[in-house]
Amino acid sequence: MSTSNGNPDTRSLKRNPPKLIEMRIRRRDNPDSPAYWQEFTIPYRPNLNIISCLMEIQKDPVAKDGQRTTPVAWSMSCLEQVCGTCTMIVNGKVRQSCSALIDQLDQPITLEPMTKFPTVRDLIVDRTRMFDHLKQIKAWIDIDGTHDLGPGPKMTQDEVAERYAYSRCMTCGCCLEACPQYDDNQFIGPQAIAQVRYMNMHPTGVMSRDERLEGIMGDNGIQNCGDAQNCVRVCPMSIPLTKAIYEENRETIIHGLFGWLKR
Ligand code: SF4
Ligand code: SF4
């Protein structure tokens, strides 16, 4: 509101201050530099998510104290909680920033990069370790031949439903961030174990089943799970991680006892 001479009506502004969104962001300029906190304010609009606020900061990167700064860096892709790329810690909870709505968050909103992966810059982390673990467990299905084998083997509806649940993993890293055992490559983590379950339930490509089990039986293997069950609580895709851990624990014990008979 303005007065008749065009100046802002300060009394009105005092009564109805423009709503602001306050953010504290844990930043790091490069992998070797120290982390620091920086605060930003953004004009409020309804229905914003974290990504749209980061985009506002990117347009005019000025911190709350008036200092011009560099734009905050983050990763994003699908913007519909399917790719997992925009995962970060929002108000202390690991989650996707695209589905974190400002209207549902306490302020000031704190944003931090995940801690279980090396920071590349600001909110971007390097999740290569997750993909290396998928290679370790051979997370692909070998074909049983290139000739026409006719219709594929049948699965029960229960098996189809369980496999579908595992297929929804988006390699976001939430379960690994929450797992107290996942650190310094000492534990392969629940995500890779669930993918062993997913792949080994497939009726095709049986040649690699034992290799997948052996992929989770090494020093960083399934035996390092402490059964805290944090992983299943934070998985945004509701993947039954503890069931996968239970089943693969059983499979690895059987393989350890009797696997040599197959050779
Ligand atoms: S049950 Fe606990 S230790 Fe095991 S994978 Fe889940 S969070 Fe980690
Ligand atoms: S199992 Fe769930 S939390 Fe873990 S990486 Fe996959 S989608 Fe993310």
pLDDT tens for 71-86 read 999 999 999 999 999 9
Q: Where are the strands (E) in 97-164, listed by range? A: 109-112, 119-121, 124-125
Among 88, 235, 241, 245, name the best residue to mutate to test ligand 2's pocket (greatest count of ligand atoms within 8 A of Cβ). Answer: 235
pLDDT of 146 reads 73
Select from 3.40.50.800, 1.10.510.10, 1.10.1060.10, 1.10.540.10 the CATH code of 128-262: 1.10.1060.10
pLDDT of 147 reads 74
Side chain identity, residue 252 = T
Nearest to 222 by CA among 207, 238, 237, 200: 200
Nearest-atom index, ligand 1, CA of 182: 8
Which residues form ligand 1's pocket by a CB distance below 6 Å? Answer: 179, 181, 190, 225-231, 242, 245
Nearest-atom index, ligand 2, CA of 173: 5
pTM (predicted TM-score): 0.89
pLDDT in tens, the chain (263 residues): 444 444 445 455 455 555 999 999 999 999 999 999 999 999 999 999 999 999 999 999 999 999 999 999 999 999 999 999 999 999 999 999 999 999 999 999 999 999 999 999 999 999 999 999 999 999 998 877 777 777 878 899 999 999 999 999 999 999 999 999 998 778 999 999 999 999 999 888 777 899 999 999 999 999 999 988 999 999 999 999 999 999 999 999 999 998 877 76
Among 175, 231, 243, 252, name the best residue to mutate to test ligand 1's pocket (greatest count of ligand atoms within 8 A of Cβ). Answer: 231
Q: How many CB atoms lie within 10 A of CB 223?
A: 13
Q: 150 CA to middle of ligand 1, Å? A: 41
Residue with the smallest CA separation from ligand 2 atom 4 is 175
Helix H segments across the chain?
10-15, 50-59, 128-136, 157-167, 174-178, 190-200, 209-215, 230-234, 241-258
pLDDT of 39 reads 98
For the chain, the structural domain boundaries read 10-125, 128-262
Per-residue burial over 75-112, b if 16 or more Cβ lie within 10 Å, else e, is: bbeebebebbbbbbbbeeebbbbbbbebeebeebbbbb
Q: Is 25 in the pocket of ligand 2 (CB under 6 A)?
A: no
Write out pLDDT tens, residues 28-82. Answer: 999 999 999 999 999 999 999 999 999 999 999 999 999 999 999 999 999 999 9
pLDDT of 11 reads 55
Ligand nearest to the CA of 191: 2
**Does the domain spanning 10-125 belong to CATH 3.20.20.70?**
no
Quick check: do 10-125 and 128-262 share a fold?
no
Q: 206 CA to middle of ligand 2, Å? A: 25
Gap between the Cα atoms of 140 and 198, Å rounded: 10
